Amino acid sequence: MKKLVVIIIAGLLFVACQNKDESKPQYQFPSGGGPAGGVTQPAPLQGQEEMKLLKEAVSKDPKNAEAWIRLGNISMDTRQFPDAIEAYTKALKLDPKNVDVRVDLGTCYRNSGKPDVAAREYRKALDLNPNHLNAHKNLGVVLAYDLKDKAQAIREFEKALELAPNAPDAPQLRQEIQNLKASK
């Protein structure tokens, strides 16, 4: 039975890791002036089953960083931000240099109404990897729209453009920079 559970979890983690970048955008510009937020959405049936298996896995092996990360990803995707924060925090205790998890943790804090903590997590991610594109973008969003530090937000967006001048969202970043400069 244990082998079956391990095989199922390994398969789920493999598929989840392959789809992670496609399934969840790292940042979004706010629309309407308030921070991103919303109603918690229940996980689809498949996600609920995966969540149950992952909770079972981490209860049996609390040092399974990949299971904690996947549990955080599902919680984040279903807007269960307190659960995602808990899972990502446990994953970071096991793997403190995981920049992507740190960025996701920051996003969960922002969506939980804690932009100052989010900014701190994005900065920690940038300390580990100064060229992490989504950390710069996310920090720029928090600085611009939550913490009202337009000058620093512009610097973060400009750094993102420097790193990826031809990214699909580069025109949107350029427009945001122009909007921020015009509203000073």
Task: Summarize pLDDT for 133-145 with one digit per residue, the tens.
Answer: 999 999 999 999 9
> Does 97-184 match 1-6+45-95 at the fold level?
yes
Residue ranges in 61-114 assigned as alpha helix (H): 65-77, 81-94, 99-111
What b/e readout covers 65-88, taking b as 16+ CB neighbours within 10 angstroms?
A: bbbbbbbbbbbbbbbbbebbbbbb
- Quote the CA–CA distance of 175 and 169 in Å, as a whole number: 10
Q: CATH number of the domain at 1-6+45-95, out of 1.10.510.10, 1.25.40.10, 1.10.260.40, 1.10.287.130?
A: 1.25.40.10
Q: What is the pLDDT of residues 25-68, one digit of tens each?
A: 445 544 333 334 444 455 555 677 888 898 998 899 999 999 99
Which tokens hold the place of 162?
């420097």
Give the predicted TM-score (pTM) of the model.
0.76
Please report, for the chain, the start and end positions of each structural domain, with discontinuous segments joined by +: 1-6+45-95, 97-184
